[in-house]
Amino acid sequence: MAGNLKILMTADTVGGVWTYALGLCKALLKYDVEIHLLTMGALLTKEQSAQVQQLPNVNLYESNYKLEWMQDCWRDVQLAKQWITAIFSKVKPDLIHFNNYGQTLGSWSCPVITVYHSCVQTWWKAVKGEIPVQDWLRYIETVRNAIAASDVVVAPSKGMLEQARNVNGKFTNAEVIYNGLDIDIKDMPQKAEFILSAGRIWDEGKNIQLLSDIAKEIHWPVCIAGNNIDPDTGEAPKLENVDFLGQLTNEEMQEYMAYAAVFVMPAKYEPFGLAILEAAKSSCALALARLDTLQEIWGDAALYFDPFDEREAKSVIQELVSNDRLRMKMSEKAFERAKKYSAEKMAQNYMQLYEKLLVPMNQTYN
């Protein structure tokens, strides 16, 4: 595979980073970028493998090494570092684009970007109102080492960058590049009277349990999509009063988004929210947790509620359900706002960053 710019990129396969990474790789096709994609966290599903095979600019290196936030992970983190180093030596990339923290610190002979998608410290502070306990000290050190070892740290929102600085100190080697997403909807169907939410159900930060608790008091059915198996414990939270859809394929999720009239994200912690973006691009009216990050991204194109207040959440959701005119207006606002966050624009911003880092090395790419 020939390409002007060669990038080594890491990605995990168990969360929104996968959607982000694949979207970016696809959008970088127009720039003739050769990407060596190294995956960790879990082996790819059949759908994920098929997604990669559709991208001629991507060379895949697959592993199931544990990520730095998983239980009993540190041996895997070290093995993954050796694995990445060996691939780096063979590929000789122009730049490394890390989407995790465990392997950033190293003797890399090229510019290094780390994307601060999220972290345990900011999650813990938002969800539990405190800094992580003693067990997380090594993780915290790993994140701070990754920041220090990076030429640039990219955050997906200004709010996420502010949170990262609050827990790690005021690092200055940072930029904000908003995530982007493109979905292909040829004919938008008539919206149906149901509410949709999606996310990692086992993740306390997603706060899906709130919807389960209030669903019986909302006049429309509530459908929940996502993985409900905790990767550390193997346990599944119990959801009541909702239609649990399980882990949907991309195509299935797009179909539910296309028909859902309202999309709800009750998260206590959400650095960006790609599922929300997909819902908005599918013309869903949005009811979102009142978080700085989500208000930054969606402005007046969503209705907001306190994710810790079931009564307010129920009131806001019910307002969208019962008021046809308001729901139509908010649907249109969300769709228009979502146009700001395209994969094409995201790729353009990353290419500008790549080139800025490589100019001192007398390299330019078209």
Exposure string over 306-325, b if 16+ CB within 10 A, otherwise e? ebeebeebbebbbebbeeee
Under the phi-then-psi rule, with left for phi > 0, alpha for psi from -120 to 50, and beta for the rest, what region is 304? Answer: beta
Residue 269 host element (H or E): none
State phi, psi for 307 to the nearest 5 degrees: -70, -10
* pTM for the full predicted model: 0.94
* Domain-wise residue ranges, the chain: 5-180+343-361, 192-338
Q: How confident is the model at residue 1 (pLDDT cuts 50, 70, 90)?
A: very low
pLDDT at 2 over 80: no
What's the confidence (pLDDT) of residue 3?
47
Q: In what order do the strands lie in the sheet with 222-225?
A: 243-246, 222-225, 192-198, 260-265, 285-289, 303-305
Amino acid 167: pLDDT: 96
Summarize pLDDT for 220-233 with one digit per residue, the tens.
Answer: 999 999 988 877 77
Fold for 192-338, please state it.
Rossmann fold (3.40.50)
Would you call 220 helix, strand, or coil by DSSP? coil
pLDDT at 363: 54
3-class DSSP state of 264: strand
How far apart, in Å, are the Cα atoms of 355 and each of 94, 163, 350, 363? Answer: 10, 27, 9, 8
**Structure token digits, residue 278:** 């997909």
Strands 222-225 and 303-305: unpaired
Residue-wise pLDDT for 331-345, tens only, equals 999 999 999 999 999
pLDDT tens digits for 175-204? 999 999 998 777 788 999 999 999 999 999
> What mean pLDDT, rounded, does the chain reach?
94
Provide CB contacts within 8 A for 117, sequence distance 6+. Answer: 16, 17, 20, 99, 156, 271, 272
Taking Cα atoms as reference points, which of 10, 174, 173, 125 lies closest to residue 77?
10
Q: Is the pLDDT of residue 349 over 80?
A: yes
145: enclosing H helix or E strand: helix 137-149
Architecture of domain 5-180+343-361: 3-Layer(aba) Sandwich (3.40)
Q: 280, 334 in Cβ contact below 8 A?
A: yes
